[in-house]
């Protein structure tokens, strides 16, 4: 079975790991690169790397980012030498980013680099960036435009959000790899990631939502709201900032015209989102442990199968 999953670095990445347990090499992840940043002399690609670390069981689950049991020796020495200290990377994570920088400098496309790094680290699934061109999520606050990582880490995602933009998105193009994966998919899953800043940049690549909607496969999204609450991160805040309700209904509205079905958490306090033509399924969507991730993946794929015609 061929499955394409759209993902950020947490909810979507966890579901991708669950789908990989079912579909193995049949899974292709299309990951958000709007959070990418050049720092410490390397190219950091947080969401694709988090997907890879989830897929290869290296993720520091407790912290929610980076590699488990990894030290920060190189970073600590860099800071001692005068490097900026606000964006930390553990040793093996830094190695991923150094190797990415080397291959990009040698002229490889980001798609080849990202998928190659994931494969080298043992992912069965294919990990693709949403595009090869740089797209950067930026947030406008009362202090002006902030790069996404500055807003998240330096500002602790505290200032009110006045506007969100995906700089460079208009110049981006759907890659052949993304197009082929969507065309060959039996199921397309929009993971339970932040709809605004994790899935939003992916759908902002010109032609990408059309390629999804035009693919023969059913498209299902999983709501990132569990029992009506965000599990982790500023999803609520970003939904409100773009004028959407931070609820399953808000998620349904954000994906109108792109998805055929929406998975809503069984304990979600809201009634089923009343979006015309949208099928819904309700089950427990909290992914606890490998078994939980696999269960949510299986139920999501089973729901998608009911939408296939």
Binding site for ligand GDP (CB under 6 A): 7-14, 47, 192-194, 198, 222, 224, 226, 230-233, 235, 285-287
| C-beta closer to ligand GDP: residue 243 or 289 | 289
Closest-by-Cβ residue to ligand GDP is 11
**Smallest gap, in angstroms, from Cβ of residue 222 to ligand GDP?**
6
| C-beta closer to ligand GDP: residue 116 or 228 | 228
CB contact at 8 A, 149 and 52? no
| C-beta closer to ligand GDP: residue 26 or 192 | 192
**Smallest gap, in angstroms, from Cβ of residue 286 to ligand GDP?**
5
**Can you give the three-state secondary structure of 128-194, one letter per residue?**
EECCCCCCEEEEEECCEEEEHHHHHHHCCCCCCCCEEEEECHHHCCCCHHHHHHHHHCCEEEECCCC
**Smallest gap, in angstroms, from Cβ of residue 3 to ligand GDP?**
17
| C-beta closer to ligand GDP: residue 12 or 250 | 12
**Smallest gap, in angstroms, from Cβ of residue 155 to ligand GDP?**
15
Q: For residues 189 and 261, give the distance between their C-alpha atoms in angstroms, rounded to a whole number.
A: 10
**Smallest gap, in angstroms, from Cβ of residue 151 to ligand GDP?**
12
| C-beta closer to ligand GDP: residue 74 or 250 | 250
């Amino acid at each position: 079975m061929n499955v394409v999953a759209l993902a950020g670095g947490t909810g979507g990445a966890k579901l991708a790991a669950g789908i990989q347990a079912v579909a193995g090499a049949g899974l292709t992840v299309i990951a958000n690169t709007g959070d990418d940043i050049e720092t410490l002399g390397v190219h950091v690609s947080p969401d694709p790397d988090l997907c890879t670390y989830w897929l290869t069981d290296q993720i520091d689950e407790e912290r929610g980012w980076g590699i488990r049991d990894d030290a920060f020796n190189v970073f600590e020495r860099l800071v001692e030498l005068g490097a900026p200290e606000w964006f930390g990377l553990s040793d093996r994570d830094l190695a991923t980013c150094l190797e990415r920088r080397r291959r990009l400098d040698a002229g490889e496309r980001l798609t080849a680099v990202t998928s190659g790094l994931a494969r080298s680290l043992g992912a069965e699934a294919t990990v693709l960036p949403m595009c090869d061109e740089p797209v950067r999520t930026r947030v406008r606050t009362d202090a002006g435009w902030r790069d996404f990582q500055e807003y998240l880490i330096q500002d602790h995602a505290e200032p009110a959000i006045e506007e969100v933009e995906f700089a460079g998105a208009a110049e981006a193009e759907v890659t052949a790899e993304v197009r082929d994966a969507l065309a060959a998919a039996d199921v397309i899953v929009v993971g339970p990631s932040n709809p605004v800043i994790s899935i939003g940049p992916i759908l902002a690549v010109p032609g990408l939502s059309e390629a999804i909607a035009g693919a023969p496969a059913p498209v299902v999204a999983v709501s990132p709201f569990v029992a009506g609450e965000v599990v982790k991160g500023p999803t609520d805040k970003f939904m409100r900032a773009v004028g959407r309700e931070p609820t399953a209904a808000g998620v349904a509205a954000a994906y109108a015209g792109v998805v055929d079905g929406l998975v809503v958490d069984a304990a979600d306090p809201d009634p089923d989102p009343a979006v015309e033509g949208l099928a819904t399924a309700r089950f427990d969507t909290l992914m606890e442990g490998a078994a939980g991730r696999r269960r949510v993946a299986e139920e999501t794929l089973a729901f998608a199968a009911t939408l296939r015609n």
